[in-house]
Amino acid sequence: MENLEQIKTLFGDVAEKAALEVKDIIKEHGSKKIGEVTIAQIYQGMRGITGLVSETSLLDAQHGISFRGYSIDQLKEHLPTFKPNGEPKPEGLFYLMLLNQLPTSSDASIITNHWQRRSHVPNYVFDTIDALPIKTHPMTMFVVGVMALQSESKFALQYSKGMGKKEYWGYTYDDTMDLIARLPRVAAHIYRRKYKNDVHIQPDGLLDWSGNFAHMLGYDDESFHELMRLYLTIHADHEGGNVSAHTTHLVGSALSDPYLSYAAGMNGLAGPLHGLANQEVVKWIFEMNDELKSENPTKEQIAKYVEKTLEEGKVVPGYGHAVLRKTDPRFTAQMEFAKKYLPNDTFVNIVWKIYEVVPPILSTKGKIKNPWPNVDAHSGSLLLHYGLNEFEFYTVLFAVSRALGVLSSLCWDRALGLSIERPKSVTTNLIKKWLKGEEVSIWD
Ligand code: HAX
């Protein structure tokens, strides 16, 4: 693969074939049923209802995430790295998710180069962020920054001029590449404004997407750059039903452009039951340490604090999952990183102790379906080790990574011509009538 235009052409070819296949599937099998919907599912977050197509990754309750069929371990084995035997480059994962084929090292470098060239952020975007009070949460600043960028949308411009359905994916792709390229600059601006006296750092054109992002944040330790490569890879996608992916898809289904769709998804990522859990984990551990007046609590002390958290009706952040029923492989990947680079870090060791203590406690409570840690249980401790201790910023890092998955998915939504999303809702009154055996024509 020589240049980005070729990547776009290749995507067009792959997607066109897939779209024809999908048309045939709908024509031949469209009336076949996948599962049934229960009343509990209607009230409890549609858990377990298969109701979406998302091509870029798939979640298995036992084995965790696979990206186009590749587990995280396999990504580590097969994706190009920045340095020999290093962590995978997220550029390679983006290529894999978009094209459904593994990139060569030069394929991943082409993406790096193009993201570098497209990374200019107009000053008015920074001015818009700077107009917000400094106390504003970094995720709010981030979404405001993305919304300010929206005036750059090629999809929106072209739609206003009038374009046919066949052209949708091309402009979605262009916006996707521009937006992903610009996000590290927006995020780094927020970080440096809020936490580093508004002193900003120029990009380094010799670095890859992750390394340059880390550099603009102000972190030039090579192992931190490796952490960013791993972090931005493993947080990228988690199939289509999670709040951030689903929201991006939903808003995109109204033909809202990629900027609008992604911003909407990131408002969902900013919820404490979703991506914000990464800051909550660190906050919760700090609060525990404060209360116990210890920087290294024992397992017994941690167990008591967990019980207290539950008695107060709060969740233990970083534990549980709507789909997974095992330790999240993204947790394990971070644990392996920590064992390699920072095995003696005190805070990381608390995270590992919590991992021993929490699952048995949550299991005994009966109602929690998955007592195991998710991705957010570990990520903050790694960032803390390198001095990135402004934990309110952690979800912004997650958001930058999540762009890769939700936006490559949006390219697929447009290429496959997926419809505007509009599930049917009902009222409790209607359900009560139906339970009494009264005639309810709506779903017959
Ligand atoms: N601590 C305490 N209670 C928990 C819990 C936890 N970690 N996880 C689940 N529960 C509770 C639920 O609140 C629910 O209680 P109610 O019946 O009183 O409402 C009950 O156990 C059953 O929940 P579930 O079916 O096991 O889990 P859900 O699919 O409803 O929710 C969540 C999944 C991830 C939201 C949940 O496990 C949770 O709140 N975890 C803590 C927050 C967290 O770590 N979020 C990040 C998840 C991963 C992610 O999206 N990252 O971005």
Q: Mind listing the pLDDT tens digit for each residue in 51-79?
A: 999 999 999 999 999 999 999 999 999 99
**64 membership: H or E segment, kind and range:** strand 64-67
CA-based nearest residue to 226, from 205, 210, 206, 204: 210
- Pocket of ligand 1 contains residue 367 by CB under 6 Å: yes
CA–CA gap between residue 196 and residue 90 (Å, rounded) = 27
For 415-428, the pLDDT digits (tens) are 999 999 999 999 99
Residue nearest to atom 25 of ligand 1 (CA): 369
User: What type of residue is 218?
Assistant: G
CA-based nearest residue to 184, from 231, 244, 241: 231
Under the banding of pLDDT at 50, 70 and 90, the label for residue 370 is very high
Residue nearest to atom 18 of ligand 1 (CA): 367
- Pocket of ligand 1 contains residue 322 by CB under 6 Å: yes
Under the banding of pLDDT at 50, 70 and 90, the label for residue 324 is very high
Q: Is 376 a catalytic residue?
A: yes
Residue 386 has pLDDT above 60, yes or no: yes
Residue 214 has pLDDT above 70, yes or no: yes
- Pocket of ligand 1 contains residue 277 by CB under 6 Å: yes
For 21-30, the pLDDT digits (tens) are 999 999 999 9
Q: What is the pLDDT of residue 444?
A: 55
Q: Is 321 a catalytic residue?
A: yes
DSSP state of 198: T
* Marked catalytic residue, from 225, 249, 321, 385: 321
- Pocket of ligand 1 contains residue 41 by CB under 6 Å: no
Q: What is the pLDDT of residue 442?
A: 72
Q: What is the pLDDT of residue 439?
A: 86
Q: Is 130 a catalytic residue?
A: no
CA-based nearest residue to 274, from 246, 254, 312, 233: 246
User: Could you count the other beta carbons within 10 Å of the beta carbon of residue 130?
Assistant: 14
What is the share, in percent, of the chain residues with pLDDT greater than 90? 97
Q: What is the pLDDT of residue 377?
A: 98
- The answer to whether the CB of 177 falls within 8 A of the CB of 115 is yes
Q: What is the pLDDT of residue 318?
A: 98
Residue 1 has pLDDT above 60, yes or no: no
Query: How many angstroms does the Cα of residue 115 sit away from the middle of ligand 1?
Result: 36
Under the banding of pLDDT at 50, 70 and 90, the label for residue 2 is low
Under the banding of pLDDT at 50, 70 and 90, the label for residue 250 is very high
Exposed / middle / buried, residue 134 (Cβ in 10 Å: 0-12, 13-18, 19+): exposed
- The answer to whether the CB of 397 falls within 8 A of the CB of 219 is no
The number of angstroms, rounded, from the C-alpha of 402 to the middle of its chain's C-alpha atoms is 3
**77 membership: H or E segment, kind and range:** helix 72-78
The structure tokens 């203590």 sit at: 357
Residue nearest to atom 31 of ligand 1 (CA): 322
For 137-166, the pLDDT digits (tens) are 999 999 999 999 999 999 999 999 999 999
Q: What is the mean pLDDT of the chain?
A: 96
CA–CA gap between residue 37 and residue 43 (Å, rounded) = 11
Helix 138-149 × helix 394-416 angle, to 10°: 40
Higher pLDDT, 321 or 6: 321
State both tokens at 30: 């469209």
Under the banding of pLDDT at 50, 70 and 90, the label for residue 5 is confident
- Pocket of ligand 1 contains residue 52 by CB under 6 Å: no
For 276-307, the pLDDT digits (tens) are 999 999 999 999 999 999 999 999 999 999 99
For 329-358, the pLDDT digits (tens) are 999 999 999 999 999 999 999 999 999 999
End-to-end CA distance of the chain: 52
Q: What is the pLDDT of residue 443?
A: 66
Q: Does CATH place domain 277-385 in 1.10.230.10?
A: yes
CA–CA gap between residue 258 and residue 235 (Å, rounded) = 19
Query: How many angstroms does the Cα of residue 318 sit away from the middle of ligand 1?
Result: 9
